[in-house]
Structure 1
Amino acid sequence: MILEELQSELDHLQRDGLRRQRRTLASPCGPEARVDGRSLLSFCSNDYLGLAGEPALVDAACAGARAWGVGSGASHLVSGHLRPHAALEQQLATFTGFARALLFSTGYMANLGIVPALVGRCDAVFADRLNHASLIDAVQLSRADSRRYPHGDLAALERLLAASRARRKLILTDAVFSMDGDLAPLPGLLALAERFDAWLVVDDAHGFGVLGPQGRGSLAHFQLPAARRLIYMGTLGKAAGAAGAFVAGDATVIDWLEQRARTYIFTTAGSPLVACALAASLELIAEGDTRRQRLWQLSAQLREGLAATRWRLLPSPTAIQPVIIGDNHETLRVAAALYEHGLWVPAIRPPTVPRGSARLRVSLTAAHTPQHVARLVDALRGMA
């Protein structure tokens, strides 16, 4: 009976155009992929600066493996915190301008650790309605009162904060929204956090390494200081090209997370060889203005190429360029047609995005070329 129920639910997903499909690559991460015996041009990756296959990172990882082995062997607080981890945390703190940084295995685990460590019963979290699933789950784990405000609506958030009598308040937001590609109004959010004595937790998974001077992230993009009530999360498996995540903030906050964030305390520390690769990655990010400029040029090429066609792009100033279609099955049909043209663009459907807003999520990277983007534009224009 239990298996039949699961199969019935799977059949419903298939019927509604919501069943996900996993593909296995036979090639490293990059714009040109080998899948199911076919060569494809991929617009799926979050490797925004094209560092996942960068030889300098590979060399650093190999040297790290020879010096430190493959595994850390324990959690950070037992015996798994090795010198490469400590050095990387210091680099990340300096790079982002905060007093301290703390490494986590993934961005999802970082978010699940931050929120429940800071708030609980009798507290309140004020979250953007389009926040990532990890932030939504983090609020549920915290057991704090949850208040969701319309996407980017500072006036609505202000009203919710003013009406709250919670012991502690925490404002929670993505910096770059992963399915729309737009930016949170971070200056306004920080001003509200200051006014209402609230934490501001910023998930900069898609801004770190890409936005701001030297790729220092969305806070730097808005020229915001490393305020004491700000808690900054950045991932290291996207623009940084490797794996993991970090949280940066005031020294007292990081000390507290080190003692209370369960997803930090109760898991094995990441591989030291990855920490060594990330140390090299940070240097390339800081020197990566040419890569970031290429991203903006490719983004402009895509938008100009699809102007005056039926394809509606959201007003994204980032490497994420969503093409809104609406219907789940139509979105799948267009993605399949592109696939037949040798172009791999993911079809994103509910519940990842709101119902009726299914889309193609075009992710551009500095490893793409103008010729790659021209192929995608030509294919979409041919379907317009």
Structure 2
Amino acid sequence: MTAHPGLAWLDDTAAARRAAGLHREPVARTSGSAIVDLASNDYLGLIRHPEVLAGATAALRRWGGGSTGSRLVTGTTTEHELLERELAEFTGAESGLVFSSGYAANLGAVTALSGRDALVVSDAGSHASLVDACRLSRARVVVTPHNEVDAVAAALAARTEPRALVLTDSVFSTDGDLAPLRALHRVCRAHGAFLLVDEAHGVGVRGAGGRGLVHEVGLAGEPDLIVTATLSKSLASQGGVVLADGRIREHLVDTARTFIFDTGLAPAAVGAARGALKVLRAEPERAAAVLDRAADLARITGVVAPPSAVVSVVLGEPQVALDASRRCRDRGVHVGCFRPPSVPAGTSRLRLTARANLTGDDLALVDEVLTDVLAGAHA
């Protein structure tokens, strides 16, 4: 086939990415593989739990393979409504609204709560979904240095817009560190701003029984605080949710484009998330086990124990991190490899994620493999 001249730029940019060690390619998982998984976000180890599978199967049999339409047309089932109530009760929020993904939840919430007459202040470490939400918000956007509360306060104090929204992750996805939520909320309240906290990596890990960092620091249910979360990590499914004051939920139903125009979350995914939440309620010790396993992984890799499930081992250049991750996988340990633009230049890394159900044998293999691989990477 003759190459189209208009596509030549794709070849050039692809070659540049490969030369920089930034080429990406999906790798299919093998069902039943014996590999030790330190790359997924299945923090509680529930992805194949009987309650999760039973919840998904029951919803699938009752409602079918898809939700058939937008949540405002035919895409809402009683299963969706039950999950929203259960998640709100679990996290201490007044109400919940389920979206088709955590990404969609962030896009929907930020764009619906901002606009041309608003200021949006976002932490430099915020997840890509919040970054994209800023771009779509039509608001004036100020990006503040990571976890610098004084910079947030200065941006809010200097604003001329009538409304303001401050964005942050609770647990940051690449370094695994925590946001100073109490201080951020105090600043927001002092300046009449709303605080939106993405709890994607907090729910199931932080707080009493995994209720999240917002709950842990005593801010659950505050009317000027919005929580977003995903169902695809600790809750072993997929989808997203916004947890907030009932008036905010009503506003999102009327105005959030990713709610109005997107097909509703498949019932089987809703059922799976409800099953995972049921297990977490019955076995709250799973949340503490995640942090214990993260401490084990930190000891093995020689980094400081994180306050989350994320263990980040910075290696520097993209190709070094990529080669190290491949050597781990070849020896039976799957680790994440984070390179730009996921992380800043010069900080490519192995990203290990702890799971509550990692066994002693798993950790022994991880210790053997990572000790050897990291010695070679640092040589």
**TM-score bucket (shorter structure):** over 0.9
Match of residue 19 from structure 1: 23
In structure 2, the residue corresponding to 1:362 is in which secondary structure? strand
Q: CA deviation at 1:325?
A: 0.8
Distance 1:268 1:105 in 2: 7
Q: CA deviation at 1:339?
A: 2.3
Match of residue 347 from structure 2: 357
Q: Is the 8 A contact 1:174 1:203 kept in 2?
A: yes
Query: CA-atom RMSD, angstroms?
Result: 1.5
Q: Is the 8 A contact 2:322 2:337 kept in 1?
A: yes
Q: Show CA shifts across 1:333-369 (max 9, x none).
A: 2222222222221211111001111100001111221
Q: Show CA shifts across 1:123-180 (max 9, x none).
A: 1111000111100000110111110111001112111211111221110011110001
What does residue range 171-210 of structure 1 map to in structure 2 within 5 Å? 171-210=166-205
Distance 1:82 1:382 in 2: 51
Match of residue 4 from structure 1: 8
Which stretch shifts more, 330-339 or 350-359?
330-339
Q: Show CA shifts across 1:219-238 (max 9, x none).
A: 11212231111111111011
AA aligned opposite 1:249: A
Q: CA deviation at 1:378?
A: 2.2
What does residue range 121-270 of structure 1 map to in structure 2 within 5 Å? 121-270=116-265
| Alignment match of 1:339 (pick from 317, 326, 329) | 329
In structure 2, the residue corresponding to 1:169 is in which secondary structure? strand
Structure 1 position 375 matched with structure 2 position 336: no
In structure 2, the residue corresponding to 1:344 is in which secondary structure? strand
Distance 1:376 1:327 in 2: 23
Distance 2:328 2:266 in 1: 37
Q: Is the 8 A contact 1:100 1:248 kept in 2?
A: yes
Match of residue 310 from structure 1: none
AA aligned opposite 1:9: T
Q: Is the 8 A contact 2:298 2:305 kept in 1?
A: no
AA aligned opposite 1:158: A
In structure 2, the residue corresponding to 1:345 is in which secondary structure? strand
Structure 1: gaps spanning 5 or more residues: 29-33, 308-312
Equivalent pairs: percent with the same residue?
37
Q: CA deviation at 1:314?
A: 5.5
Q: CA deviation at 1:284?
A: 1.1
Count of residues paired in the alignment = 370
Distance 2:323 2:29 in 1: 22
In structure 1, the residue corresponding to 2:35 is in which secondary structure? strand
Distance 1:304 1:81 in 2: 46
Distance 1:77 1:87 in 2: 16
Q: Show CA shifts across 1:6-35 (max 9, x none).
A: 01111110000111121011216xxxxx3x
Which stretch shifts more, 244-253 or 93-102?
93-102
Match of residue 71 from structure 2: 76
Which stretch shifts more, 160-169 or 126-135?
160-169
Match of residue 80 from structure 2: 85
Q: CA deviation at 1:286?
A: 1.7
Match of residue 295 from structure 2: 300
Q: Is the 8 A contact 1:314 1:323 kept in 2?
A: no
Query: CA 1:181–1:272 in structure 2 vs 1: closer, same or farther (change >3 Å)?
Result: same
Q: Is the 8 A contact 2:315 2:347 kept in 1?
A: yes
Match of residue 66 from structure 1: 61
Q: CA deviation at 1:5?
A: 0.9
Which stretch shifts more, 62-71 or 6-15?
62-71
Give me the TM-score of the superposition, normalised by structure 1. Answer: 0.93
Q: CA deviation at 1:315?
A: 5.4
Structure 2: gaps spanning 5 or more residues: none
Q: Post-superposition, which runs of at least 4 consecutive aligned residues in structure 1 deviate over 6 A?
A: none
In structure 2, the residue corresponding to 1:201 is in which secondary structure? strand
Which stretch shifts more, 286-295 or 318-327?
286-295
Which stretch shifts more, 108-117 or 325-334?
325-334
Distance 2:286 2:86 in 1: 21
Give me the TM-score of the superposition, normalised by structure 2. Answer: 0.94
Q: Is the 8 A contact 1:331 1:360 kept in 2?
A: yes
| Alignment match of 1:44 (pick from 34, 39, 42) | 39
What does residue range 80-119 of structure 1 map to in structure 2 within 5 Å? 80-119=75-114
Q: Is the 8 A contact 1:324 1:357 kept in 2?
A: yes
AA aligned opposite 2:118: D
Q: Show CA shifts across 1:190-214 (max 9, x none).
A: 1111001001011100111221112
Structure 1 position 318 matched with structure 2 position 308: yes
Distance 2:165 2:304 in 1: 29
Distance 1:140 1:55 in 2: 41
AA aligned opposite 1:173: T
AA aligned opposite 1:345: V
In structure 1, the residue corresponding to 2:82 is in which secondary structure? helix
